Amino acid sequence: TAEQQQKEFKPTFEDYQKVYDAVAKKLEDEDEYDDGSYGPVLLRLGWHASGTYDKETGTGGSNGATMRFSPERDHGANAGLKAAQDFLEPIHQQFPWITYSDLWTLSAVCAIQEMQGPVIPWRPGRADRDVSYCTPDGRLPDASQGANHIRAIFGRMGFDDREMVALSGAHALGRTHTDRSGYDGPWTFSPTILTNDFFKLLLDEKWAWRKWDGPKQFQDVKTKSLMMLPTDMVLVQDKKFKPWVEKYAKDNELFFKDFSDAVTKLFELGVPFEVKEEDRFRFKPNTGL
Q: Which residues bind ligand DDH (CB under 6 A)?
A: 40-41, 43-44, 47, 80, 141, 143, 150, 167-168, 170-171, 173-177, 180-181, 183, 229, 231, 263
For the CB of residue 140, give the shortest distance to ligand DDH in the complex, in Å. Answer: 8
Closest residue to ligand DDH, judged by C-beta, is 174
For the CB of residue 192, give the shortest distance to ligand DDH in the complex, in Å. Answer: 9
CA-nearest of 116, 128, 118, 152 to 37 is: 116
What sign does the dihedral 85-285-120-196 (CA atoms) show?
negative
For the CB of residue 132, give the shortest distance to ligand DDH in the complex, in Å. Answer: 27
Angle among Cα 151, 54, 51 to the nearest 5 degrees reads: 70
For the CB of residue 285, give the shortest distance to ligand DDH in the complex, in Å. Answer: 18
Q: CA-CA distance, 231 to 146, in Å (whole number)?
A: 6
Question: Widest CA span of the chain, in angstroms?
Answer: 58
Q: Which is nearer to ligand DDH, 81 or 97 (CB)?
A: 81
Helix 39-50 × helix 13-29 angle, to 10°: 130
Of 48, 104, 122, 171, which residue is the catalytic one?
A: 48
Q: Which residues contact 212 (CB under 8 A, 6 or more apart)?
A: 184
Q: Is 187 a catalytic residue?
A: yes
Q: Which is nearer to ligand DDH, 63 or 78 (CB)?
A: 78
Q: CA-CA distance, 152 to 159, in Å (whole number)?
A: 10
Q: CA-CA distance, 6 to 4, in Å (whole number)?
A: 5
Q: Which is nearer to ligand DDH, 19 or 45 (CB)?
A: 45
Q: Which is nearer to ligand DDH, 6 or 144 (CB)?
A: 144
For the CB of residue 93, give the shortest distance to ligand DDH in the complex, in Å. Answer: 23
Query: Is 274:11 a contact under the CB 8 Å cutoff?
Result: no
Q: CA gyration radius for the chain?
A: 18
Of 104, 122, 187, 244, which residue is the catalytic one?
A: 187
Q: Which is nearer to ligand DDH, 43 or 65 (CB)?
A: 43
For the CB of residue 181, give the shortest distance to ligand DDH in the complex, in Å. Answer: 3
Provide the 8-state DSSP code for 219.
E
Query: Is 167:159 a contact under the CB 8 Å cutoff?
Result: yes
Q: Which is nearer to ligand DDH, 179 or 278 (CB)?
A: 179
CA-nearest of 95, 133, 131 to 16 is: 95
Catalytic residue numbers, as ranges: 48, 187
